[in-house]
């Protein structure tokens, strides 16, 4: 049978979370179809059709899916489910929102945030903030899975699958979209950036995040934060990295004024290289850091910036 991947997108661009989820789906060994549900999102379907390994793209273009509200998404995915053996979505705020509804509707358990596919019915996933990794086997029947995208490499875009329109399912009209306040930034997205600089309570204010921004400009880095920095209002909520925020695994993660609580480490400890800048030598963040700088961030960050400038960055 076939696997269905639900695409992540904003009606104009396909997000690379989709290419990573396709990579996970291909490991199940079955043909992969991608569902693009949205409004005026033909361009997204065309981009999905290029993802390597995808056999077919289903396009459900309807106002009901413009914001991927979970109630109509559940109806749509459930209407397509009879043709599929596995349904996968990225563990984004959208995927986490609609997928458990689909699982409940199909009366099957959901496997959340898989890190690895061991065999077509056996998966590894993190529990207890990533302090333990469980290997679970799914019983016979349909599989509903969300994928931790930081754990998979995106497939390339060298394919050319056909795009087929599918009709919208009935909209239960239980919910409606009111508005959105999206953080605008010229920087790379946290979950796809190669370099991330995150600030914690040690930054002391939102103003001081400008220090990190200057450094980020030089390194083309994304900016992240600890929960404490978000709670204090220094930066918006979508900057939060951690167990209950975004899970990231960039090539380089620079933690500035962050102590390294379990919940923060859960979101970044799979980064390739970790740097910690903290004035407290005992801070737990140093236990996972490849390079540590013990000192005052208000001196260290400008010094780093100067050194980079000297080297022509």
Ligand X SMILES: Cc1cc2nc3c(=O)[nH]c(=O)nc-3n(C[C@H](O)[C@H](O)[C@H](O)COP(=O)(O)OP(=O)(O)OC[C@H]3O[C@@H](n4cnc5c(N)ncnc54)[C@H](O)[C@@H]3O)c2cc1C
Measured distance CA(263)–CA(105) in Å, rounded: 31
CA 285 to chain centre: 23
Closer by beta carbon to ligand X, 80 or else 248: 248
55 binds another protein (CB under 8 A): no
In the window 233-252, what residues touch another protein (CB under 8 A)? Answer: 236-238, 243-244, 246, 251-252
Q: Which two tokens stand for residue 240?
A: 């939060």
12 binds another protein (CB under 8 A): no
Cα dist. 164→54, 75, 244, 255 in Å? 13, 19, 36, 45
Residue whose pair of structure tokens reads 């291909």 in the numeric block: 26
In the window 131-170, what residues touch another protein (CB under 8 A)? Answer: 131-139
How long, in residues, is the chain?
A: 313
Q: How many CB atoms lie within 10 A of CB 196?
A: 27
Q: How far is the CB of 192 from ligand X (least distance, A)?
A: 19
Per-residue binder mask for ligand X (CB under 6 A), 14-53, x = binder: ----------------------------------------
In the window 256-275, what residues touch ligand X (CB under 6 A)? Answer: 257-259, 261, 263-264, 267
Q: How far is the CB of 66 from ligand X (least distance, A)?
A: 29
Q: Residues with Cβ < 8 Å from 222, sequence gap 6 or more? A: 187, 188, 189, 190, 193, 195, 196, 197, 216, 250
Stretch that binds ligand X, among 4-12, 44-52, 165-173, 238-246 (CB under 6 A): 238-246
* Contact footprint for ligand X (CB under 6 A): 200-202, 226-229, 240-245, 257-259, 261, 263-264, 267, 278-280, 283, 296-298
């Amino acid at each position: 049978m076939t696997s269905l991947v639900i695409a992540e997108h904003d009606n104009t661009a396909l997000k690379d979370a989709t290419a990573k989820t396709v990579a996970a789906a291909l490991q199940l060994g079955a043909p992969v179809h991608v569902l693009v549900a949205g409004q005026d999102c033909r361009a997204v379907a065309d981009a999905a059709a290029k993802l390597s390994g995808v056999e077919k793209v289903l396009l459900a273009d309807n106002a009901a899916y413009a914001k991927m509200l979970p109630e109509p998404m559940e109806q749509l995915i459930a209407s397509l489910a009879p043709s599929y053996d596995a349904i996968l979505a990225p563990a984004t705020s959208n995927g986490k929102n609609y997928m458990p509804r689909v699982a409940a509707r199909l009366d099957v358990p959901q496997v959340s945030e898989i890190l690895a596919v061991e065999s077509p019915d056996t998966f590894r996933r993190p529990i207890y903030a990533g302090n333990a990794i469980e290997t679970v086997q799914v019983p016979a029947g349909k599989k509903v899975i969300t994928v931790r995208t930081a754990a998979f490499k995106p497939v390339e875009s060298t394919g050319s699958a056909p795009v087929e329109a599918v009709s919208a399912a009935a909209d239960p009209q239980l919910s409606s979209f009111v508005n959105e306040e999206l953080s605008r930034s010229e920087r790379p997205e946290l979950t796809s950036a190669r370099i991330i600089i995150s600030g914690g309570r040690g930054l002391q204010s939102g103003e001081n995040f400008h220090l990190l921004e200057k450094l980020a400009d030089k390194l083309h880095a994304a900016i992240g934060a600890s929960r404490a920095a978000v709670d204090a209002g220094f930066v918006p909520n979508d900057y939060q990295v951690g167990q209950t925020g975004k899970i990231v695994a960039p090539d380089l993660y620079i933690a500035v004024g962050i102590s390294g609580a379990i919940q923060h480490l859960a979101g970044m400890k799979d980064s390739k290289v970790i740097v910690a800048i903290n004035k407290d030598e005992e801070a737990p963040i140093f236990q996972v850091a490849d390079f540590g700088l013990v000192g005052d961030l208000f001196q260290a960050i400008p010094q780093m910036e100067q050194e980079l400038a000297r080297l022509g960055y």
